Structure 1
Amino acid sequence: MQWKFSKRLVTRCKTIRYDGTFDEEESLIIREIRHNIHVNGEFFASVMLIPEQQKEFTYGFLFTSGIINSSDDVVNYRMCENYNIYVYLKDPRPLGSNSTWTITSGCGGGKVLDKTYDDIKTIDSAFKISAADILNHFKVMERESDLHSATRCVHKAYFAGSDGDCFASDDIGRHNTIDKVIGGIVFK
């Protein structure tokens, strides 16, 4: 199958595949680019991402890092050339430079503020979803996974709300896909 993707997302290169014998072929490889996130003019984090859904990622990442609680906390978002992202908050707050960080087990390593674990609240909900609905959404997710099908080197996250609202994301980092979905759904 012939895949068409932006050159900012993928590059072609020769690879060697083994399936009983070694065969050289041309493959699509994902481009991962460093994004530098600045909050209120202060450097916060460098994150490797595929270059799409950066705003969704940034909002989701700042939310899961305990920096913002809603999109109302952000007064300005701007992404400049060379993937520098600038976020300005309505109520400036310390970013945790003097706080305790926990290093996570992500592929590239990561860190989160310890305080975010203390703030996790139990969700009391009667929400239920049937196994059939889960399987149907999984089929939709697979159908919409062109980038994964073409490269076999991205993770995909998919959210399906009870109101029919859906959001999907791709990235090399599986944690990035979750932050993109959170940013795409919570902060739409």
Structure 2
Amino acid sequence: MNGVSRFLGAETWKRPVLRYRAGEYWEEDDVIATEFAVTLYVNGEEFATLVCTPTYVEDLVYGFLASEGVIRTVDDVKSVQVSLWTGTARVETKSGVVLPPAMYNKRYIGSCCGKGRQSFYFQSDALTARPVADPVRLSADDVLRAMDLLDASSGLFEETGGVHVAALVRAGQLVLARADIGRHNALDKIYGHCLKSGESLSGTAVAFSGRISSEVLLKVAKIGVGVVIARGAPTALALDLAEELNITAIGFVRGQAFNVYSHPWRMKDVKREQGVAGGT
């Protein structure tokens, strides 16, 4: 069995491992997260190679292309052909125009979102990341419930320990969840599904299993969601971006505790005397 065919469509793979604990070794099968490469072609030209979990690959393709500014809506796409056997995804756009891949690897100094502060961004980020206008409000219970919903959707992580999980939630209910070995991929799969299905993003939040890096924050902005709720910590650049992009960043959700790092006006159960500024 070759290295491609054995992973076709499979999230996991079993292989024997040598375990050690308390002075003893033993052999048993372990469940390993699948890592699969899909080369993306746009209008016949090689555009990027996505290393991913080989599920919901078409959603991943749509989300990735939208987050990179190649497409804006599902209507920009003429056709998509995904072949896990060959490890390819071939996309034809209606415009037939493709931006040079080199531009996505070059950072430049510029102002984000019309603000005066200068930072480093990918050029595609400046084209696609905009402040989120959704006035969604949520309570502490909503935040904790979002993480419970994420945990309930994390079967692949529980099985392998080798993936990230992202969930879209609204009013205490799970809209959808996606897992992937790449944290960006999990978010792109959500983005792609929403583009294809026409899912409304009003009143939603993204719950995320990892930390809030600048890249994760930008992905959330590109999707168009006003709240990101994460198990881990944020970075300083992510919080600068959250302030500019009107996103409420909530991190360190552990047990009955969490930290609100930006735009706390979205927390509807915070009293004014606790020092929370008003809305946008």
Per the normalisation by structure 1, the TM-score is 0.81
- Alignment-mate amino acid for residue 94 of structure 2: K
Written as runs of structure 1 = structure 2, the 5 A alignment for 1:50-129 is: 50-80=53-83, 81-97=85-101, 99=103, 101-102=105-106, 114-129=123-138
Matching residue's letter, 1:46: T
Q: In the superposition, relative to structure 1, how do residues 62 and 135 fare at CA in structure 2: closer, same or farther (>3 Å)?
A: same
Q: Secondary structure at the match of 2:103?
A: coil
Does the Cα contact within 8 Å between 1:96 and 1:113 map onto a contact in 2? no
**How many aligned residue pairs are there?**
175
Which residue of the other structure, out of 152, 159, 162, is the alignment partner of 2:161?
Answer: 152
- Write the distance in 1 (CA, Å) between the matches of 2:194 and 2:72: 13
Partner of 1:37: 40
Checking the alignment, whether the CA contact within 8 Å between 1:34 and 1:49 is kept in structure 2 is yes
Pick the structure with greater CA Rg: 2
Letter in 2 for 1:147: L
Distance change >3 Å, CA 179–CA 33, structure 1 → 2: same
CA, structure 1 residues 21+57, in 2 after alignment: closer, same or farther (shift >3 Å)? farther
Runs of 4+ in structure 1 deviating by more than 6 angstroms, as ranges, are: none
Whole-angstrom distance in 2 between the partners of 1:163 and 1:69: 29
> Hey, what's the Cα distance between the residues in 2 that align with 1:50 and 1:182?
16
- 1:13-39 residue CA offsets vs partner (Å, 9 max, x unmatched): 222445544543321011211101111
**Structure possessing the higher relative contact order (Cα contacts under 8 Å, 6 or more residues apart):** 1
Q: d(CA) in 2 for partners of 1:77 and 1:53?
A: 13
Q: Secondary structure at the match of 1:94?
A: coil
- Please, which runs of 5 or more residues in structure 2 have no aligned partner? 1-7, 108-120, 198-280
CA gap of 1:21–1:177, structure 2 versus 1, over 3 A, is farther
8 Å CA contact 1:44, 1:95 repeated in 2: no
* 1:46 aligns to 2:49 (yes or no): yes
Q: Which has the higher helix share?
A: 2
Instruction: Please list every run of 5 or more consecutive structure 1 residues that lacks an aligned counterpart in the other structure.
Output: 1-5, 104-111
- Aligned-pair distance for 1:157? 0.6
Residue 170 of structure 2 is matched in structure 1 by 161
Q: Secondary structure in 2 aligned to 1:187?
A: helix
Is 2:134 aligned against 1:130? no
2:192 to 179, 183, 186: 183
State the 1:72 CA deviation: 0.8
| Corresponding residue for residue 10 of structure 2 | 8
Distance 2:136 2:57 in 1: 30
